[in-house]
Amino acid sequence: MKIHKISGKIDEKQIQKLVGRKELFDRRIADKVRLVIEDVRKSGDKALIDYTEKFDGVSLDPASIRVSDKEIDDAYGKVDAGVVDAIRKAAKHIKSFYERIYIQPGCLKDLNGAIAEDRIRPLKSVGIYVPGGRFPYPSTVLMNAIPAKAAGVKEIVMCSPPRTDGGIDPAVLVAASEVGVDKVFKAGGAQAIAAMAYGTETVTKVDKITGPGNIYVTMAKREVFGIVGIDMLAGPSEVLIIADETAPPEFIAQDMKAQAEHDPDALAVLVTTSQALAEKTGSMADGKNMMAFVVGSLDDAVRIANILAPEHLEIMTKDNDRLAGEITEAGAIFIGQYTPTAVGDYYAGPNHTLPTGGTARFSSPLSVYDFVKRTSVIRYTADALNDVSGTVSKLAEIEGLVEHLKSIKIRVDKG
């Protein structure tokens, strides 16, 4: 693990350069993805079946694209009872968190009778993408479907790439069943995103797509944004750990290795006031994209954290609460030696779908807020319009919008 000694004023450009995050956009992959999306848009199920055979090595027909009720029932018999119990306990705990989040509508009533309202409604349909790969990801199902349900979404569909045996991992199907996913489809990659964005003869068209995936999935979500909503464009996972001499180096090293387990490009950064801690941690965790910054003070550590705006931020110091209060840019903050990111990944309640690559500067974790939409409702009486007519008319006049001005005048003159 490379250790950087930082002294003097914290230089943002220097820190960003040393961390060396990769650019999320890949033009070559984006071009390939665009062709897949267009093919699925035009050819529907046929294209979906062709790409599933090409990329996943699985032969499907229109009848087998959707996971049957029998396949879901059979999944329970293929999953260890302890796993089913863990899924149920985690789902219950996460659900209890999101059901406590209240989305407050706004309403302004003027004395002259004018009413302006912010009306909130749940989305009608949402598509969840659950990656395949080496391991199953039932936690992804929980973290995407539960807040959607809590928001009142009427229909939740899910796409996940089939395994070589033609099915979806049983633990993923159990999770989908437990949280009330309405339809599950055997589709992965860019073709799955296209299917949910445009709809096929079998796959339901949705209003918004959420869930993580590889670079092909990310580029596909970028491409269909505007046709549907998306949660975010997620890059490699990352953790930044602020620690002083009181922190156990073995805890830090293990959390850095846990982050590296997500992705070959995952980033793990230690920012500490202790050279000795950095060296001890480095002797236990020395993987790709792992590094440490040794700084003069914990305040400097906070400055670096706010510059990098990490996805996960852990704090293990003698002054945890003060430092946590000064963090303004982070996806999720984990406070204290006994709060590893893993507890947030699976159980704590707040979502593990978090902004990466510094986007925590302007975006937030997935939540119920991502599954609702707002509509403005405005109601004016004749008296209310008369009261504001001069102001509105003057602004319309200065912008050169004559017909806007006339739409006010015709009503005032009549009144």
pTM summary value = 0.93
pLDDT tens digits, residue range 73-85?
999 999 999 999 9
Angstrom distances, CA of residue 122 to CA of 27, 152, 153: 35, 5, 5
Question: 2-23+235-348: which CATH topology?
Answer: Rossmann fold (3.40.50)
Q: Is 311 a catalytic residue?
A: yes
Q: Can you give the pLDDT at residue 59?
A: 95
- pLDDT values of the chain reduced to their tens digit, one per residue, 415 residues: 999 999 888 999 999 999 998 887 888 999 999 999 999 999 999 999 999 999 999 999 999 999 999 999 999 999 999 999 999 999 999 999 999 988 888 999 998 889 999 999 999 999 999 998 778 899 999 999 999 999 999 999 999 999 999 999 999 999 999 999 999 999 999 999 999 999 999 999 999 999 999 999 999 999 999 999 999 998 999 999 999 999 999 999 999 999 999 888 899 999 999 999 999 999 999 888 999 999 999 999 999 999 999 999 999 999 999 999 999 999 999 999 999 999 999 999 999 999 999 999 999 999 999 999 999 999 999 999 999 999 999 999 999 999 999 999 999 998 7
Token pair for 30: 């984006």
| Per-residue pLDDT at 288 | 86
- Select which of 238, 312, 314, 352 is catalytic: 312
From first CA to last CA, the distance across the chain in angstroms is 76
CA atoms in the 13 A half-sphere facing the CB of 9: 3
CATH class of 27-104+121-230: alpha beta
Specify the pLDDT at position 103: 84
* Per-residue pLDDT, 319: 95
Domain locations in the chain? 2-23+235-348, 27-104+121-230, 380-414
pLDDT at 94: 97
The CA-atom distances, in angstroms, between 352 and each of 231, 251, 325, 356, 375 are 13, 20, 21, 11, 28
- Check for a shared fold between 2-23+235-348 and 27-104+121-230: yes
| Active-site hit among 178, 223, 311, 314 | 311
CA distance 277 to 281: 6
Of 228, 167, 226, 169, the closest CA to residue 193 belongs to 228
Q: What pLDDT, on a 0 to 100 scale, did the predictor assign at position 104?
A: 85
Catalytic residue flag (residue 397): no
